[in-house]
Structure 1
Amino acid sequence: MQRDLSHGPREGWNAEPRLFALDVDGTLLRSDGSVADETLTAIQHVRSRGVEVVLVTSRGAAAVRPVATRLGMGAADVFISAQGALTGSWAQGSRLLVQDQQPCPVTRARAVVEAAVTAGFSVSWFAGEHWYVSHLDATIEEEIREIGVVPEVRPLLAEERGPDKLMVIGEPDRLEVLRNLAEHLPSGLTVQVSNPNTLEITRSGVDKATGLARYCTRRGLPLRDVVAIGDGPNDLDMFARVGTSIAPANARPEVLRAATLLTRSNDDHGVALALLTLVP
């Protein structure tokens, strides 16, 4: 039976989490893109108790940096970005240290770029700390406003190394065209839908769940000792593999149904409640 953490303390809860895997947008961050003081305090508390906190996000590494800085994360504090394709840390907020990278095959990535641009979409190409775009449009301008990072416009078909992730965002009136693009990806690639209008394209077999599993294997940490908190469909595979999954009240309906536990919304300090309830 699901338990709603907002309804009271954790009587009968026997789990002893060793790692919290936190989604960023819609989960850790409030709707205005900020980290609440209450959330920061809760993260500091669980860390002081020896519990690791790892950000697991579809964001590229560059867009993780301001969040990591706000949380006081340094070279020893790992994040998993680009939909599971890159695991690393930011050393003193300025130098990316890569632990694991699973890029897309470059020829297949170029084929997606060509098809998407021909269909009228801008394509985002994430590689390490870089965010490149085929061209600027309204969807990219909105993404810039949301994450506070500006991409470099670049001829993507000239890239010699595959990206960690491709992203294609469609306007609301072009979702059918976007779905058609997703259904005709080259082999060797996989797609996740993080929002109804956003395709996150990675190498086959790469997603948040596999990125987290690879990291935990290197750490010698059983996934049953991991608590994952997330709000989107791209968190569901991660939910299925960890010991405990938690959805904030603002999560998509299918995510709420899949979660072991429910917490308050991202605007009502849901992550802070979850962390302090499981690690009092």
Structure 2
Amino acid sequence: MGQMLQAAAQAHFGPGSGQPKLRAAAIDVDGTLLDSQHQVSEETAAVLKQALDAGLQIILASSRAPRAMWPILAATGLTEPCTFVASQGAFVGQYSASGQLHRLHQHMIPLTDAHHIVRLALSLGIPTNWFIGERWLVSEIDSHVRRESGIVGFEPLLAHLFTETAGPDKLMFMTGAENQHKLAELAAMLPDTVHAQISNPTYLEITRTGVDKAAAVQTLCHGMGIEPEQVVAFGDGPNDLGLFAYAGTSIAPANARPEVLGAATFHTASNDDHGVAQALKLILEHNERKNS
């Protein structure tokens, strides 16, 4: 464990720090929980089980669609009754151990606004990714879609999006680095009924206004009687900064974006060095001291 993590954690969680027992951990998935090969390490999975057994609520909070969350939840034992946040906060649910999806909350973009945004994207030459529940629809299958499909482990359906009769949970637009300026152009053209976030420099993710990972986690924690100071948030990207602002403690892996590292309470090791597991071990030790 790095000296930086030890020193910062000691200052934050050490005797006399006054920090309360933590009751929930909201954890981003890609770039945070998963390593650079998009896998959960055995060490991380083992520590997550320890945390669950110790009574810590684990909430995976991701921009991934529910179907792309399923293999991660199954691999880490975070199936029902554990709750997850997907599609950038637009979908909140649980998966049974057999893989059946149970929806708890769903906040869809109004259909007319979604179709308007698809037209704006077409005018800029950017294909649209349309997510609703477990469905992933695309206006075009290009190299970015094929790469994303390889990462999340399932394939989208090529569809005529203007025939959809219900708005999506999330719209996503992907470009190469040479065209990422088009994402900024699209974001500047959006109606005020939607909220746009850059999850990484070449991904623009759009949800209904007021919908994001932080709002979803806050609603879940409030429903469980958990106060913000009893929540720890883990994340590596700009779309995790809302979580950091909400939670009493925020932890960024060493591979996080500079602005995220700057906003974190303290840092942990990178996602390839089991950073989430290292930090969770310290949290469990802190909670144990609070119990004694």
Q: Could you say which TM-score interval applies, normalised by the shorter chain?
A: over 0.9
Partners of 1:15 and 1:278 within 8 A in 2: no
State the secondary structure of the residue aligned to 1:4: helix
Tell me how far 1:4 sits from its aligned partner: 3.3
Question: Aligned residue for 2:269?
Answer: 264
Q: 2:56 aligns with which of 51, 58, 71?
A: 51
Shift in CA distance, 173/15, structure 1 to aligned 2, threshold 3 Å: same
Cα separation, 2, equivalents of 1:6 and 1:38: 19
Cα separation, 2, equivalents of 1:239 and 1:146: 25
Partners of 2:20 and 2:229 within 8 A in 1: no
Cα separation, 1, equivalents of 2:155 and 2:20: 41
Question: Aligned residue for 2:204?
Answer: 199
Give the fraction of aligned pairs with identical amino acids, expressed as a percent.
Answer: 41
Partners of 1:134 and 1:155 within 8 A in 2: yes
Cα separation, 2, equivalents of 1:116 and 1:8: 44
Q: 1:42 aligns with which of 40, 47, 54?
A: 47
Tell me how far 1:92 sits from its aligned partner: 2.2
Tell me how far 1:8 sits from its aligned partner: 8.2
- Give the TM-score, by structure 2 length: 0.92
Q: Any unmatched runs of 5+ in structure 1?
A: none
Shift in CA distance, 7/201, structure 1 to aligned 2, threshold 3 Å: same
Question: Aligned residue for 2:195?
Answer: 190
Cα separation, 1, equivalents of 2:152 and 2:20: 34
Cα separation, 2, equivalents of 1:63 and 1:20: 20
Q: Across the two proteins, how many residue pairs are aligned to each other?
A: 278
Partners of 2:49 and 2:77 within 8 A in 1: no
Q: How does 1:55-94 map to 2 (within 5 A)?
A: 55-94=60-99
Tell me how far 1:118 sits from its aligned partner: 3.2
Question: Aligned residue for 2:227?
Answer: 222
Task: Find out whether 1:110 has 2:115 as its counterpart.
Answer: yes
Task: Find out whether 1:129 has 2:129 as its counterpart.
Answer: no
Partners of 2:8 and 2:266 within 8 A in 1: no
Partners of 2:9 and 2:266 within 8 A in 1: no
- Deviates most, 210-219 or 57-66: 210-219
State the secondary structure of the residue aligned to 1:279: helix
Tell me how far 1:6 sits from its aligned partner: 4.8
Cα separation, 1, equivalents of 2:46 and 2:94: 21
Q: Any unmatched runs of 5+ in structure 2?
A: 286-292
Question: Aligned residue for 1:165?
Answer: 170
Task: Find out whether 1:252 has 2:257 as its counterpart.
Answer: yes
Partners of 2:22 and 2:283 within 8 A in 1: yes
Cα separation, 2, equivalents of 1:8 and 1:71: 28
Tell me how far 1:223 sits from its aligned partner: 1.6
- Deviates most, 125-134 or 263-272: 125-134
Q: List structure 1 segments (4+ residues) > 2 angstroms apart after TM superposition.
A: 6-15
